């Protein structure tokens, strides 16, 4: 009997005491994300997903961490999952005081596609981002680079110029470098 009690405490109690929920991992991941520790953030978000956490916000944040870690293929997959789940169904946006919308997903996925040299896919996503918010300077900048990659130099320079007009200072450096 004593042996059974000892086995119970050795095997069961640590699992009860140290078990973490998907929400715990999400919260840790969010903390890591906010401090730019994208390796830990990605790992915590992944663990939360493995434990059954299905929400657009977690896929968006994990995709953003992957993008920061230059895993652009993984980022595209996560951004696509976030779009499919939709922020309207997210309980996290209000619970954690987070604000996201499809425009930022299209912008970020467009950037990831640009980095993968999927220029047509990038342009498609960035067109959607611009349709949702035509003041987003980064969407114009990234679309301009994608167009230039496709040898559509004048169109690309026009988009880069629009990014500058919207207050993105580094767009002017890009114009000097790529739009002579």
- 86 occurs within a structural domain: yes
pLDDT tens digits along 40-73: 999 999 999 999 988 899 999 999 999 999 999 9
Residues 128 and 73 both lie in one domain: no
- 9 occurs within a structural domain: no
CATH number, domain with residue 24? 1.25.40.10
Residues 89 and 133 both lie in one domain: no
DSSP code string of 45-94? HHHHHHTT---HHHHHHHHHHHHHTT-HHHHHHHHHHHHHH-GGG-SHHH
Domain end position, chosen among 44, 66, 100: 100
Residues 29 and 94 both lie in one domain: yes
For the chain, what is the domain count? 2
pTM for this one? 0.85
Exposed / middle / buried, residue 169 (Cβ in 10 Å: 0-12, 13-18, 19+) = exposed
How far apart are the C-alpha atoms of 106 and 139, rounded to whole Å? Answer: 9
- 12 occurs within a structural domain: no
Residues 96 and 161 both lie in one domain: no
pLDDT at 48: 95
pLDDT at 91: 67
pLDDT tens digits along 76-133: 999 999 999 987 766 666 666 667 789 999 999 999 999 999 999 999 999 999 999 9
Domain limits at 30? 20-100
Residues 90 and 26 both lie in one domain: yes
- 109 occurs within a structural domain: no
Rg of the Cα trace of the chain? 21
Residues 93 and 129 both lie in one domain: no
Structure tokens at 34: 């906010």
Residues 31 and 87 both lie in one domain: yes
- 63 occurs within a structural domain: yes
Q: What is the mean pLDDT of the chain?
A: 88
CA 75 vs. chain centroid, Å, equals: 6
């Amino acid at each position: 009997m004593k042996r059974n009690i000892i086995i119970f405490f050795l095997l069961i109690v640590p699992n009860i005491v140290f078990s973490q929920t998907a929400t715990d991992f999400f919260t840790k991941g969010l903390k890591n994300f906010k401090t730019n520790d994208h390796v830990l953030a990605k790992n915590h978000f992944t663990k939360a997903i493995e434990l059954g956490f299905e929400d657009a916000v977690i896929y968006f944040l994990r995709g953003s961490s992957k993008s920061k870690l230059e895993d652009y293929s993984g980022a595209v997959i996560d951004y696509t999952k976030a779009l499919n789940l939709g922020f309207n169904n997210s309980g996290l946006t209000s619970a954690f005081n987070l604000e996201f919308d499809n425009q930022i997903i299209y912008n970020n996925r467009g950037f990831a596609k640009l980095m993968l040299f999927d220029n047509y896919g990038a342009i498609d996503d960035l067109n959607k981002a611009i349709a949702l918010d035509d003041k987003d300077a980064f969407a114009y900048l990234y679309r301009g680079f994608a167009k230039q990659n496709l040898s559509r130099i004048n169109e690309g320079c026009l988009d880069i110029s629009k990014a500058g007009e919207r207050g993105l200072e580094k767009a002017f450096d890009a114009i000097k470098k790529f739009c002579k």
